Chain A
Amino acid sequence: MTITRVTRRGLLRTGAVAGAGLALPTYLRAQESGFTNAPTGDTVTLGFNVPQTGPYADEGADELRAFELAVEHLNGGGDGGMLQTFSEKNLDGTGILGKRVEFVTGDTQTKSDAARAAAQSMIQKDGAIMISGGSSSGVAVAVQDLCQQAGVIFMAGLTHSNDTTGKDKKANGFRHFFNAYMSAAALAPVLESLYGTDRKAYHLTADYTWGWTQQESIQAATEALGWETVQNVLTPLAATDFSSYIAPVLQSGADVLVLNHYGGNMVNSLTNAVQFGLREAEANGKQFEIVVPLYSELMARGAGENIRGIPGSQNWDWKIENQLGDRYKGTNAFVKSFGEKYGFPPSQAAHTCYAQTLLYADAVTRAGSFNPCAVVEALEDFEFDGLGNGPTLYRGADHQCFKDVVVVRGKENPENEFDLVEIVEVTPTEAVTYDAEHPMFAGGNLGSCNPGA
């Protein structure tokens, strides 16, 4: 009988050899083709990194549904969705460059470290050549940085901070979703027509990257209208009861409350504000108003009837083509595909993830290569249409999409839980476009693309 003795040193040696062996395929893939995770077989793997646990899990689930639908359409399944309306006609349902699309998923948990670990695992273990998804700017910035280092493309999901394509922009990262500056620029004219130019605003702001840039943007836009900013109070991201922040608002001399909150923060702060009677209150001889710069349909459901009449902005709305016509073509095709598969209309998070997957696939096809640098070149200054937002530009200078922004308001009498907001206006692209060197986006450097090899 043979007795095998396991020693610490032996274990370490074996582990090191095994680790090197596992890492070798990735290294070889990079070496032989000149870029990370070059697909060698008849499939290509995409990595979808979404919150599957934590407070944004429902939004993550909707993103994942959209990703699955996009993959199905890319592989020739279903009714093709937006492939039929997309201005580029390179995608024919045969995968990407003839390779069948497969995907792996990661759980961001809406935590930067967990999101990076999940993305790293998908890149190193699963050979993902592109990472997409997410529901938080902190996560997007962290994963974008990782993708830049690893030499894969990052197609951001729901991220709204100016920093994602501002001071933290990266050559390998692209954002289809709009940003805080655009929300403010789109909302300002609507706020002027709704509430006039003589207003005093009180801001409650989530104390992290998105909240800061959202507050800075909306303050600048409203002050340009003539509004005065009375106070900006930073609230902890973990706060659940905002009563002590809401209570002093009426005594501050303000007549508008701006809630720079998202997700659970938004649901709770808005609910608290309504409980404290702010919607019925009068201040400075005017009706008191509440503004939520960034809307989310999923979060609006959490706030229930408290969102009635409250204005905000969205990247996209599932009703936009029906209400505003053919300029937003692609919307109905996507809503039909998504609705028939899942039984309810898609959220804006789902829409941006679906669009990003198609945009990546199309860029690879036009470039004729999965090489990230070729993809970057194909996406930079790329103009397209038919993905639901109207004519859109992927600006080369910062990898931000420029398109119309939807201004919405909580519906007074919603017919169902998916019909909570009504479109008030669409602010055209020109009104939300800014210079790439705008001070709110300064301090970053796109750098050069990294193919990873």
Chain B
Amino acid sequence: MEAIILQTLNGLDKGSAYALIALGLTLIFGTLGVVNFAHGALFMIGAFCAVTLQRILSASFVTLDETRTDFLGNPMKVETPYVEAWFGPELGGSIIEWSVPLAILFSIPIMAAIGIAMERGLIKHFYKRPHADQILVTFGLAIVLQEIVKHFYGANPIPTPAPDALTGSYDFGVLLGFDPNVIIYPYWRLVYFAFAALVIGAVFAFLQFTTFGMVVRAGMADRETVGLLGINIDRRFTIMFALAACVAGLAGVMYAPINSPNYHMGMDFLVLSFVVVVVGGMGSLPGAVLAGFLLGILESFASMTQVIALIPGINQIVIYVVAIIVLLTRPRGLMGRKGVMED
């Protein structure tokens, strides 16, 4: 029972990341009809926004400590962050420590700008081209973006820890009446799940309860008619692209303490996220979220030692097996709409 609860928590947490990325992918596909293979790169750039802010806040001046020597026998260079010099070691240290949560604010304008630049600068030229062309150009863009990041940040993962107050684990077992240390779960992963739920809820509320959202939904259903009403739907769709970039970026920012960011992390998520989108149904926002959590949970359960003992290797293929089963039984995915990608 403990294992089931633990893997359910894990699945919800994994599913949060899948759902956030898949949500952004679906927003872009649903509005612009573009299959964006650069979406994983946006997730990666989000994580590097956290790395960048951490570096900015840690920017230091160097003094020489004559009492100590470095590996070459020269006086040791001691780096002191400016924020610690300005605000004192305690407050300055806290500011640096909270760089990941602060990066949420830092990343939004950056991701929005990148989204708009991507859409206006490149992707709009491929609206009327076949999906294969869109996939090729966005995949190429993803490679370019990750190589740029690698050039500036290197190939190694960069540790980007959560604030001390949010590290450590919460003992769920005690809360549920189990023995201590039976079901413990990291605080930051719980924060990630709550954050993902908040962002997903905000996106749905935005689309459901605002006039802008209503127009976008109308445009998703029938772009031509909305255009004939004199509404500049293209401008709104550009904003939706920026919103999708922000969602992917925020997913990346908050993911940075879970796994140290590296330039390749977007690609690691991209394939899984496309499977999530396909299983959920192309163009279906609730489908993307549902499939994200569903596949996250299934992946977690498939990694249980008892399951692996029963079906060796299932942990490596479960998502794809589920995708095949769903596509065979429901070719449009769990919540797919008729006519999407069927022309």
A194 and B158 CA atoms in complex are apart in Å by: 30
Indicate if B2 sits at the interface (CB-CB under 8 A).
yes
Indicate if B150 sits at the interface (CB-CB under 8 A).
yes
- CB contact list, B300-315 vs A, under 8 A: 300, 303-305, 308, 315
A295 and B303 CA atoms in complex are apart in Å by: 26
Indicate if B316 sits at the interface (CB-CB under 8 A).
yes
Contacts known (A302-B158, A418-B71); A244 close to B7, Cβ less than 8 A:
yes
Collect the chain A residues with CB atoms within 8 Å of residue B70's CB.
416
- CB contact list, A263-304 vs B, under 8 A: 264, 267-268, 271-272, 275-277, 280-282, 298-299, 301-304
Collect the chain B residues with CB atoms within 8 Å of residue A336's CB.
72
Q: How large is the interface on B (under 10, 10 to 19, 20 to 34, 35 or more residues)?
A: 35 or more
Collect the chain A residues with CB atoms within 8 Å of residue B13's CB.
243
Collect the chain B residues with CB atoms within 8 Å of residue A282's CB.
181
A251 and B5 CA atoms in complex are apart in Å by: 12
Indicate if B265 sits at the interface (CB-CB under 8 A).
yes
Indicate if B123 sits at the interface (CB-CB under 8 A).
no
Collect the chain B residues with CB atoms within 8 Å of residue A250's CB.
181-182, 184
A207, A236, A243, A345: which has the most chain B beta carbons within 10 Å?
A243
A345 and B70 CA atoms in complex are apart in Å by: 10
A305 and B97 CA atoms in complex are apart in Å by: 13
Indicate if A318 sits at the interface (CB-CB under 8 A).
yes
Whether the pair A275, B258 counts as a contact (CB closer than 8 A) is yes
Contacts known (A340-B72, A418-B71); A302 close to B260, Cβ less than 8 A:
yes
- Closest beta carbon of chain A to B260's beta carbon, Å: 5
The one of A54, A235, A236, A276 in contact with B155, judged by C-beta atoms closer than 8 angstroms, is A54
Contacts known (A231-B305, A303-B260); A247 close to B7, Cβ less than 8 A:
yes
B72, B182, B265: which has the most chain A beta carbons within 10 Å?
B72
Q: What mask results when residues 336 to 349 of chain A are scored 1 for a CB within 8 Å of chain B, else 0?
A: 10011000010000
Whether the pair B259, A240 counts as a contact (CB closer than 8 A) is yes
Indicate if A252 sits at the interface (CB-CB under 8 A).
yes
- Closest beta carbon of chain B to A200's beta carbon, Å: 14
A243 and B188 CA atoms in complex are apart in Å by: 13
Indicate if A233 sits at the interface (CB-CB under 8 A).
yes
- CB contact list, A210-262 vs B, under 8 A: 231, 233, 235-236, 238, 240-241, 243-245, 247-248, 250-252
A303 and B157 CA atoms in complex are apart in Å by: 8
Collect the chain B residues with CB atoms within 8 Å of residue A443's CB.
none
Indicate if B168 sits at the interface (CB-CB under 8 A).
yes
Contacts known (A241-B259, A264-B262); A302 close to B159, Cβ less than 8 A:
yes
- CB contact list, A400-427 vs B, under 8 A: 415-416, 418
Q: What mask results when residues 3 to 39 of chain A are scored 1 for a CB within 8 Å of chain B, else 0?
A: 0000000000000000000000000000000000000
Contacts known (A57-B150, A240-B268, A335-B71); A248 close to B304, Cβ less than 8 A:
yes
Collect the chain B residues with CB atoms within 8 Å of residue A345's CB.
71
- Closest beta carbon of chain B to A337's beta carbon, Å: 10
Indicate if A55 sits at the interface (CB-CB under 8 A).
yes
Contacts known (A247-B7, A318-B71); A58 close to B154, Cβ less than 8 A:
yes
A416 and B155 CA atoms in complex are apart in Å by: 19
Whether the pair A277, B168 counts as a contact (CB closer than 8 A) is yes
Whether the pair B157, A267 counts as a contact (CB closer than 8 A) is yes
Contacts known (A233-B308, A250-B181, A304-B159); A55 close to B6, Cβ less than 8 A:
no
Whether the pair B156, A298 counts as a contact (CB closer than 8 A) is yes
A423 and B264 CA atoms in complex are apart in Å by: 32
Indicate if B80 sits at the interface (CB-CB under 8 A).
no
Collect the chain B residues with CB atoms within 8 Å of residue A281's CB.
181, 184
B167, B189, B260: which has the most chain A beta carbons within 10 Å?
B260
Whether the pair A243, B14 counts as a contact (CB closer than 8 A) is yes
A299 and B159 CA atoms in complex are apart in Å by: 10
- Closest beta carbon of chain B to A238's beta carbon, Å: 7
Indicate if A56 sits at the interface (CB-CB under 8 A).
yes
Indicate if B186 sits at the interface (CB-CB under 8 A).
yes
The one of A238, A245, A276, A302 in contact with B268, judged by C-beta atoms closer than 8 angstroms, is A238
A318 and B268 CA atoms in complex are apart in Å by: 34
The one of B76, B260, B265 in contact with A304, judged by C-beta atoms closer than 8 angstroms, is B260
Whether the pair B303, A277 counts as a contact (CB closer than 8 A) is no
Whether the pair B260, A276 counts as a contact (CB closer than 8 A) is no
Collect the chain B residues with CB atoms within 8 Å of residue A245's CB.
303
A207, A231, A276: which has the most chain B beta carbons within 10 Å?
A276
Collect the chain A residues with CB atoms within 8 Å of residue B303's CB.
233, 244-245
Whether the pair B72, A57 counts as a contact (CB closer than 8 A) is no
Q: What mask results when residues 1 to 35 of chain B are scored 1 for a CB within 8 Å of chain A, else 0?
A: 01100110011011000000000000000000000
Q: What mask results when residues 177 to 218 of chain B are scored 1 for a CB within 8 Å of chain A, else 0?
A: 000011011101100000000000000000000000000000
Whether the pair A271, B10 counts as a contact (CB closer than 8 A) is no
A77 and B331 CA atoms in complex are apart in Å by: 67
A301 and B161 CA atoms in complex are apart in Å by: 13
A57 and B154 CA atoms in complex are apart in Å by: 8
A298 and B157 CA atoms in complex are apart in Å by: 9
Whether the pair B156, A277 counts as a contact (CB closer than 8 A) is no
A240 and B303 CA atoms in complex are apart in Å by: 13
Which chain A residue lies CB-closest to B170? A277
Contacts known (A54-B155, A302-B157, A335-B71); A277 close to B169, Cβ less than 8 A:
yes
Whether the pair A241, B14 counts as a contact (CB closer than 8 A) is yes
Which chain A residue lies CB-closest to B259? A268
Whether the pair B259, A304 counts as a contact (CB closer than 8 A) is no
B70, B155, B167: which has the most chain A beta carbons within 10 Å?
B155
Collect the chain A residues with CB atoms within 8 Å of residue B76's CB.
415
- Closest beta carbon of chain A to B51's beta carbon, Å: 12
The one of B71, B265, B315 in contact with A236, judged by C-beta atoms closer than 8 angstroms, is B315
5 closest A-B pairs by beta carbon, nearest first, are: A304-B159, A302-B157, A244-B303, A57-B155, A277-B169
**With A248-B3, A268-B260 given, can you name 9 additional A-B contacts, CB distance below 8 Å?**
A55-B262, A58-B155, A243-B10, A251-B6, A267-B157, A276-B185, A281-B184, A303-B260, A335-B71
CB pairs A–B below 8 angstroms (9 shown): A58-B156, A235-B315, A241-B259, A247-B7, A250-B184, A268-B260, A275-B188, A277-B169, A339-B72
